[in-house]
Amino acid sequence: MKIQKQGLQKLTKKNPIDILFSKNKISKVDLDILNKNERVEFYKILTDRINNFTGEQKDELLEKIDEILPTTTKNQLWENNHYLITLSMTKLIEETGKMPTKNQLSTDTGLSRQTIHKHLKDYADNPLYAAQLKQFKFMADRVLAKVIKIAVQDGGNVKAARLYFEVMGYFGNQSGININTQNNYIQINQTKLSQETIKQLTPEQLNQIEAVLQTVSNNIPKTNE
């Protein structure tokens, strides 16, 4: 009888991994019931579930493991959600011509409506979003260099020149530069440069204008300093 009782105990003993997943919340202390091999298996199962669960099922899982989830993983999940929502919103606007509902975004992304609502409500205050904005600002100099190149090369482009001066903060008489969009010309002090006259300039003259524009750029104080 004793041997039968021990065998019955072995059959009815729960897998510690199953015990963890049966909890409403998994704490770091709870992980102590796992040995080394079980811990590896636990995180393998956990990763698989995170990658494959969708909607409310995924929300419940993330709520359950919030305490044991590394910050780097939480950041990756936020970035992935942001990417999916942005991509879906862009696609649905192009297809329907109007802003999609949260239900449409949920169906298209596989994220729950609650997750989408929370992300749209709080994303602007997230430090990861601020970091993304810094990346865009980091590229500003390169984009501006392209604008100035378009403004002076191949006969010039007045619209690109106007954009350049607007971005650099030069308006009207403050710099001696006037950009007239109605008549499509740039005036630097007393000299007017229309798109037609720019086309007549020699490469040397265009280089001189480019040098002037670059000098103006270098003398403008940075707005963030």
- pLDDT one-digit tens code per residue, 106-137: 999 999 999 999 999 998 889 998 888 888 88
Q: What is the pTM of this model?
A: 0.61
pLDDT at 162: 75
User: How high is the mean pLDDT of the chain?
Assistant: 80
pLDDT at 76: 94
pLDDT at 13: 64
Q: Tokens 């001066």 identify what position?
A: 165
Distances in Å between the alpha carbon of 21 and those of 14, 25, 43, 110, 167?
Answer: 12, 8, 11, 22, 55
Sorting pLDDT into bands at 50, 70 and 90, what band is 218? low
Which residues sit opposite 185 in a β-bridge? 180, 194
pLDDT at 75: 94
Q: Which amino acid is at 198?
A: I
pLDDT at 173: 46
Question: What CA–CA distance (Å, rounded) separates 224 from 140?
Answer: 13
State the CB neighbour count (10 A cutoff) for residue 182: 5
Distances in Å between the alpha carbon of 154 and those of 145, 158, 195, 214?
Answer: 16, 12, 11, 17
pLDDT above 70: residue 183: no
Helix H or strand E encompassing 188: strand 185-188
pLDDT at 109: 95
Question: Which has the higher per-residue pLDDT, 158 or 126?
Answer: 126
Mean pLDDT within 1-27: 70
Instruction: Tell me the pLDDT tens digit for each residue of 193-212.
Output: 666 666 676 777 777 666 66
Lowest pLDDT segment from 46-60, 88-102, 146-160: 146-160
Question: Which has the higher per-residue pLDDT, 110 or 159?
Answer: 110
Q: Which amino acid is at 105?
A: L
Instruction: Tell me the pLDDT tens digit for each residue of 44-62.
Output: 999 999 999 999 999 999 9
